[in-house]
Structure 1
Amino acid sequence: MTRHPSLDIVESHGTELSGKRIVLCVAGSVAAYKSIELARLLMRHGANVKCVMSGASTKLIKPDYMKWATGNHVITKLTGNMEHIDLADYKRSDLIIVYPSTANTLGKLANGIDDTPISTVLTVAFGSKTPILMGLAMHASMYENAAVRKNMQFLRKKVDFVSPQMIEGKAKAPEPEDVLDFVLTKFGQSKKLKGKKVLMTAGPTVEKIDPVRIMTNISTGKTGTLLASELVSAGAKVTLVYGPGTAEPPKGAKIIRVKTVSEMFSAVKKELRKKFDVVILAAAVSDFIPKNSNSKIKSNRGTTIKLTRAPKIIDHIKKIHKGILIGFKAEANVSKKELVSRARKKLKESDADLMVANDIGSRYNNSDYNEVFLVDSKNVVKTGRKTKAKIVKIICKNIEKNLN
């Protein structure tokens, strides 16, 4: 049999789940469509995903969708091949995920009822102590039902739960990314960044116009500090050269506070006397420096502020740093095609290994969400609209790939 084309995505985002066999049970909830994305995310991190569908879920999404998503045969009924034993008996699989999980499926597992393919797989897994993870989806009134609560309480000792999202009176299924994060934590994060020395910049810079006025930008430093925090969590030794941003820098990093472009550039050059594995320039550095007046400029008359070009820090890094260089390219209100084109141009000019490009126009100003493009010499990875916390996880995965 030829290799299924969907398997081409395996390990495209990481290898944390390589060699892991994960059974994805799709119960009859309208959130069943999200299981397609979850299957693909698990595969992108290396998992071999086997899918079991209930009769109710096959009325919502066709088994062919899950066959396409996983590249594996989908089980919709049990036969003489004893699929439930093959999937869930002792050490046959590494994890059973029920996503979405209904109150009905929860109740059957808690009470040993196995009258469907999913409930039978779960009964075998529960008895063989194969890990089970459930992502619940139901109306809030069902979630608060005493019997449902009792079933959850009974199962909590042996079953993991990813908390639902309480939205519009419903306990909605957790997002696929949240389930993935739980699974990655359970099986351990990648060790590729552990012990790696990373030098970062983040936040804005400020330049004095006169003793009371400054020129700066709207950067809060949030993406940079979140990325630094993610790197620290992954075991990296992070030095963060931080401008006057409003976001709190991570406690596990060495923080060097700066204000101006000159101070940031000097701090970076000084730190690069030491050896770093990765340099990440995420700061929103001013492109211009105003001529500073020693006295306050009078407001009752017009004035001209003279600007000189500030040094482009990224253009000087490869002269003194031989490791990985990652830059950030911000534009405003340009097309996605133009954004990627400008990022690739800057990638080449600075000899960087990766450029993180985003549009900082009005759509994402002061927002916890963003959309970025990860641009290298050959490929472009589009994150889509995601929280900044999730975007930095994707950036970290790409840093790991560059470390290879």
Structure 2
Amino acid sequence: MINNNNNNINKSDKSHPSKDIQSTFGNELLHKKIVVCVTASVACYKTIDLIRLLMRHGAEVFVVMSKTVERFISKDYFVWASGNKVISELSGDLEHILLADYGKSDLVIVYPSTANTIGKFANGIDDTPPTSILSVALGSRIPIVIAPAMHESMHENEIIKENITKLEKKNVIFINPLIEERKAKIADIDVVLKSIITILKKDHCSNVVTLKVDKGYDNNIKFIQKSKDMYSEIKESELKEFFKNKRVLISLGSTIEYIDPIRIVTNTSSGKMGNSLMKNALTFGATVTIVKGFTTSHNKIMNEPCSFPNFKAIDVTTSQQMYDVIIKELRSIKYDIVILAAAVSDFKPSEFSNRKITSDTISLTLTFVPTVKIIDKIKNIFNDLFLVAFKADYEVPVDILLQKSYKKIIDANADLVVANDVGKKDTHIGSDLNEVFLIDKNKNYYHIPIQNKFDVAYNIFKIIYLNMSKS
């Protein structure tokens, strides 16, 4: 039972002698963190070989096991095999969150998986360490692989088949067992290794994507996906050293356009992403100015500016005010980085009524005109700063999102565009979570998978650092 120091469970013990075998067969899984869940099948002895094989290809492996596994094999074998602490019981340290929450691991595999574990997982029951890990991983969108092992008659059970189909519809990947001697024998470790490498390569490795997009766009443009390894290993000390002498301006929140003195046109942006960017910039020691529209997120930094001498907040209401303030600020002080994270209104009423429009009016027709495009003006005036724009879209394929974002880079001469789809269930406007794609001038893009907005902002600054340090 591991109940002590589990707050470090997701940190590897690099000094363990078992780590000497890492990358001896290859680097395909280098920097990948894989959680191996072990359930009470007699095939669990084969898990030792899988762990060692994953490590030999570069992976860092953490083992989570059902308590009943110890009827077959001692937990110490898994400690020896992985070189890391093993979880066989959950404690107040929330080991399942530490290992399977947003962005905590690259992949979870159950090897072997019993019919019991499959049934529990398919029906939302998480009463063992492995099923709790699976429950969290499914919610945090970490890839899940299951390798069943049982008798053939159990594998052919219609209820078990239904549970497998149910999970497959949730994008859980099953590696078929070998049917032999009336048994559904667990898949060979070489087959599992190949599957894991393919899955992680698809999710994270560099990839050339040829877009097939709507009319009006270049149908042959190619984007290159960059591996998250390019930024994940950057240390916070590097970021602090780089940003400590930088001036950063961040716009955030939504703007308001008035119809009459009490009626408005706006959007539902919360300002949470901008707040997260601000917090990270201050953490790294940058001098930060925010130009803030309407927000629904509270931040004590804004209410206690005297505690942060390198921080200034300017409140605005309309898109024109935001434009005027940003231009004035950039003319008065030299900024190194401008991040336009505000959700600025694209249109405003062509006319403003000085008096409240009476509710007795039978019908009302409004004409809208475009607002000033702040992003398009910045580099025309201030060409030597690093410009980061945000592009939100609604329920569009990734290729369309990338194409629209690259068009914004061209139109605005931006250095990076942060693109996200606010039509997704988990990353809607106002959510605490986000999933973004960052596109640069060279048609490279980075995918930051779904996680809380503070962590997304942290990774955005890593990619800004990468791009600025190259130029």
The bucket for the TM-score relative to the shorter chain is 0.5 to 0.7
Distance 1:57 1:241, change over 3 A: farther
Alignment match, 2:438: 374
**Partner SS state of residue 449, structure 2:** coil
Q: How does 1:67-86 map to 2 (within 5 A)?
A: 67-70=56-59
What does the per-residue CA deviation read over 1:209-259, in whole Å, with 9 as the maximum and x for residues that have no partner? Answer: 111111000100101110111111111111110111112346243111111
Question: 8 Å contact 2:79–2:86 — kept in the other structure?
Answer: no
Question: 8 Å contact 1:204–1:245 — kept in the other structure?
Answer: yes
In the alignment, the residues of structure 1 paired with residue 237 and residue 127 of structure 2 have an alpha-carbon distance, to the nearest angstrom, of: 33
In the alignment, the residues of structure 1 paired with residue 49 and residue 451 of structure 2 have an alpha-carbon distance, to the nearest angstrom, of: 26
Counterpart check, 1:392 vs 2:384: no
Match among 384, 391, 401 for residue 339 of structure 1: 401
Alignment match, 2:193: none
Alignment match, 1:158: none
Distance 1:189 1:354, change over 3 A: closer
Match among 276, 283, 289 for residue 342 of structure 2: 283
Say which is worse superposed, 215-224 or 55-64, in terms of deviation.
Answer: 55-64
Distance 1:137 1:390, change over 3 A: farther
**Partner SS state of residue 438, structure 2:** strand
Alignment match, 1:156: none
Question: 8 Å contact 1:26–1:101 — kept in the other structure?
Answer: no
Match among 314, 331, 354 for residue 416 of structure 2: 354
In the alignment, the residues of structure 1 paired with residue 254 and residue 457 of structure 2 have an alpha-carbon distance, to the nearest angstrom, of: 18
RMSD: 4.3
Match among 65, 78, 81 for residue 54 of structure 2: 65
In the alignment, the residues of structure 1 paired with residue 100 and residue 421 of structure 2 have an alpha-carbon distance, to the nearest angstrom, of: 29
* 1:64 positional shift: 3.0
Question: 8 Å contact 1:136–1:163 — kept in the other structure?
Answer: no
Question: 8 Å contact 2:55–2:61 — kept in the other structure?
Answer: no
Alignment match, 2:148: none
In the alignment, the residues of structure 2 paired with residue 348 and residue 183 of structure 1 have an alpha-carbon distance, to the nearest angstrom, of: 30
Alignment match, 1:239: 289
Alignment match, 1:292: 352
In the alignment, the residues of structure 1 paired with residue 126 and residue 78 of structure 2 have an alpha-carbon distance, to the nearest angstrom, of: 31
Match among 280, 292, 296 for residue 230 of structure 1: 280
Match among 135, 139, 152 for residue 89 of structure 2: 139
Distance 1:276 1:232, change over 3 A: same
Q: In structure 2, give the amino acid aligned to 1:295.
A: R
* 1:37 positional shift: 7.8
Distance 1:257 1:164, change over 3 A: same
In the alignment, the residues of structure 2 paired with residue 121 and residue 67 of structure 1 have an alpha-carbon distance, to the nearest angstrom, of: 11
Distance 1:119 1:61, change over 3 A: closer
Alignment match, 1:268: 326
Distance 1:278 1:338, change over 3 A: same
Match among 255, 264, 288 for residue 214 of structure 1: 264
Overall identity of the aligned pairs, in %: 33
Question: 8 Å contact 2:289–2:312 — kept in the other structure?
Answer: yes
In the alignment, the residues of structure 1 paired with residue 450 and residue 403 of structure 2 have an alpha-carbon distance, to the nearest angstrom, of: 20
Alignment match, 1:39: 31
* 1:205 positional shift: 0.3
Distance 1:121 1:220, change over 3 A: closer
What does the per-residue CA deviation read over 1:352-399, in whole Å, with 9 as the maximum and x for residues that have no partner? Answer: 000001111152223222221101122011122222222112111111
Alignment match, 1:196: 246
* 1:67 positional shift: 2.8
Distance 1:264 1:98, change over 3 A: same
Distance 1:307 1:229, change over 3 A: same
Question: 8 Å contact 1:202–1:242 — kept in the other structure?
Answer: yes
TM-score by length of 2: 0.55
Q: How does 1:85-96 map to 2 (within 5 A)?
A: none
Distance 1:256 1:239, change over 3 A: same
In the alignment, the residues of structure 1 paired with residue 233 and residue 325 of structure 2 have an alpha-carbon distance, to the nearest angstrom, of: 39
Q: In structure 2, give the amino acid aligned to 1:367.
A: S
Q: Is there any run of 5+ residues in structure 1 with no aligned partner, and where?
A: 1-20, 28-35, 43-54, 71-96, 105-113, 123-133, 150-161
Question: 8 Å contact 2:29–2:57 — kept in the other structure?
Answer: no
Question: 8 Å contact 2:252–2:271 — kept in the other structure?
Answer: yes
In the alignment, the residues of structure 2 paired with residue 352 and residue 304 of structure 1 have an alpha-carbon distance, to the nearest angstrom, of: 37
Question: 8 Å contact 1:286–1:310 — kept in the other structure?
Answer: yes
* 1:100 positional shift: 4.3
**Partner SS state of residue 385, structure 1:** strand
Q: In structure 2, give the amino acid aligned to 1:306.
A: T
Distance 1:60 1:246, change over 3 A: farther
What does the per-residue CA deviation read over 1:146-199, in whole Å, with 9 as the maximum and x for residues that have no partner? Answer: xxx9xxxxxxxxxxxx967899455667989xxx9x998897755211221101
Q: In structure 2, give the amino acid aligned to 1:226.
A: S
Question: 8 Å contact 2:435–2:450 — kept in the other structure?
Answer: yes
* 1:323 positional shift: 1.3
In the alignment, the residues of structure 2 paired with residue 204 and residue 260 of structure 1 have an alpha-carbon distance, to the nearest angstrom, of: 9
In the alignment, the residues of structure 2 paired with residue 254 and residue 67 of structure 1 have an alpha-carbon distance, to the nearest angstrom, of: 51
In the alignment, the residues of structure 2 paired with residue 200 and residue 192 of structure 1 have an alpha-carbon distance, to the nearest angstrom, of: 18
Q: In structure 1, give the amino acid aligned to 2:292.
A: Y
In the alignment, the residues of structure 2 paired with residue 205 and residue 369 of structure 1 have an alpha-carbon distance, to the nearest angstrom, of: 22
Question: 8 Å contact 1:324–1:402 — kept in the other structure?
Answer: no
Q: How does 1:44-55 map to 2 (within 5 A)?
A: none
* 1:262 positional shift: 1.1
Alignment match, 2:40: none
Question: 8 Å contact 2:419–2:436 — kept in the other structure?
Answer: yes
